[in-house]
Chain A
């Protein structure tokens, strides 16, 4: 995880744009004023620059080819369904075989509902999957969660089939 983080830090200030700030208008005066007021009060844009330096990409150890299967959820729900129980059981067995592997559990939602609610719901789904894997004996320190809400769909239709495909928790291997 760490090495990815350091690369992302570099991008923070790059390209940040200034000069789109508000331009306060003039104050109201009852009668005609002697002078002429400037509508825009432009501030000079400050230079922006890349704060980071490129770091060497360290060699990445290969991850074992484990196929952890995605689980799905009902609308508005974060409870583990019966079909997901079987999948999680198999995922847990695989994880027990490879104790060095860590997993990021991603919680996802369909496009309906607001961005904010879906972020919360995605987090609940990821947490529910994590909890279930812990109950099946997987060490919690190997499992982390992240919610992407509705931001990373796998199916792009606007129907129940697509929505069901997107209401999911996915398992991403990491070191």
Chain B
């Protein structure tokens, strides 16, 4: 698979990151970006062998899911677009005249890495995988890079596979993968809306709230906590759901709106839109504090704050100019600068966690809403979507992907794409899904 058009977009982001300081993840990340900048990006090529059963006494239930593990690992790595994966196609086996590809066979398939795995079980019928990553090279002897054993209950099969993919991804790229991250979103039912959480690939959706009310705008405060706005006490209050402790707390309940919350990258503060002073304005609170600081002062709407990766700036939407546009200011409210001028409706900013780029929604001349990115110096604009209405972009923790909602299929669903607008994947299937938010890891 080739992905040539990515190059230009990454180049753009890269140029920006160089002009405006290094990305949050330096080192190997910088190397990858640099290789993209200097020429055509060469994705990592990896052969992922079908994992095999070592133990003849393995329970049938475990044996039945063995091939799923290598399938999920391949799917995860392909998702990143940094990888091209190969499976041991029956065709290859025929050509090489073998039952299982050896490392020298893999090398002939132009891969640089090979992942193999052996599956066994224990008295609890859990799944145990021992997997090994090799490097293979035309002129060098294959080398074992590392080997590990992981165990999981059968119900955690996907988590097990995602862990293996994360492990391999980290080893090869030195970047943190997103394969164990999750996405929260709101789902409309016959009563109102409830918050749901699924894996980053849309699998294993779970209902998180049972409020029989309107619950919107879930945002991850940490890997265990989601804030959301709920009408369950007759006012749009801000609630914090702690999934580890099993607690659900009301954290902001001023009369009027307590909405569009956004958490600082370190999780210590949140910005929120309140109307307690009569007009939608943005306030910043320390987590747990009763009193916050008002940071916007205009007669119009100020809403939808998003934090810069270093926690020093906020981007937000304001209609102070007469139409909704994006602005950037210091987190204490000083130095407000308008960022967008193109179009009569720009909203829903989401600041990349790794680059000086903001994703946002703009209404096109045809009245449709589309997702764009803009550099924080305002210099580069790029349209990422063009089918249907597309809203609420939110970044993956590695800044390489976006999650968003779209009605492009006639019903409202959640999709992911890479930050160039390619590699679009639908991750929800039952309609009425919106307001996605990607967990921090």
- Identify the A interface with B (CB < 8 A): 1, 4-5, 8-9, 11-18, 20-23, 25-26, 28-33, 35-40, 43, 45-46, 48, 76, 112-117, 119-121, 123-124, 127, 145-149, 151, 158
Contacts and interface: CB of A to CB of B under 8 A. Distances in A.
Contacts of A8: 232-234
Contacts of A151: 192-193, 214, 216, 231
B149 interface: yes
B167 A45 contact: no
A31 B304 contact: no
A148 B301 contact: no
Nearest to A45: B246
Q: Which of B146, B186, B248, B259 has the most CB of A within 10 A?
A: B259
A138 B70 CA distance: 69
Given A5-B234, A120-B303, A17 B319 contact: no
B257 A119 contact: yes
A37 B273 contact: no
B52 interface: no
Contacts of B361: 114
Nearest to A39: B152
B159 interface: yes
A50 B45 CA distance: 54
Contacts of B162: 25
Contacts of A37: 148-151
Given A112-B369, A112-B389, A116-B260, A76 B182 contact: no
A114 B151 contact: no
B423 interface: no
B170 interface: yes
A112 B156 CA distance: 39
Contacts of B217: 115-116
Contacts of A119: 216, 229, 236, 257, 259-260, 273, 303
Nearest to B305: A116
A146 B235 contact: yes
A116 B303 contact: yes
Interface residues of B, number: 82
A122 to B, nearest CB: 9
B147 A32 contact: yes
B149 A123 contact: no
A25 B434 CA distance: 28
Interface of B: 128, 130, 146-153, 156, 159-160, 162-163, 166-167, 170-171, 180, 182, 186, 192-193, 197, 206-214, 216-217, 223-224, 229, 231-236, 241, 243-244, 246, 248, 256-257, 259-260, 273, 275, 278-280, 300-304, 317, 319, 323-324, 345, 347-348, 361, 363, 367, 369, 389, 391-392, 407, 434-435, 439
Contacts of B391: 113-114
Contact of A21 (B146, B186, B224, B303): B224
Contact of A15 (B193, B210, B244, B280): B210
Given A11-B212, A16-B209, A23 B347 contact: no
A20 B303 CA distance: 30
Contacts of B209: 16-17
Contacts of A26: 148, 150, 163
A39 B149 contact: no
B210 A124 contact: no
Nearest to A78: B301
Given A21-B243, A22-B439, A117-B304, 13 more contacts: A11-B232, A16-B241, A17-B206, A31-B146, A38-B151, A39-B160, A115-B435, A117-B301, A119-B259, A120-B301, A123-B280, A124-B279, A147-B275
17 contacts: A11-B212, A12-B232, A16-B210, A21-B244, A23-B159, A26-B150, A32-B148, A37-B148, A38-B151, A40-B156, A43-B244, A46-B246, A112-B363, A113-B347, A124-B279, A124-B301, A149-B216
Contact of B345 (A13, A16, A48, A113): A113
B159 A39 contact: yes
A147 B257 contact: yes
Nearest to B193: A151
A52 B61 CA distance: 44
Contacts of A9: 233
Contacts of A12: 232-233, 248
A27 B216 CA distance: 34
Nearest to B439: A22
A41 to B, nearest CB: 10
A120 B259 CA distance: 8
Q: Which of A4, A23, A40 has the most CB of B within 10 A?
A: A40
Contacts of A113: 345, 347, 369, 391
B301 A115 contact: no
Q: Which of A11, A13, A113, A114 has the most CB of B within 10 A?
A: A114
A114 B391 CA distance: 7
A172 B3 CA distance: 56
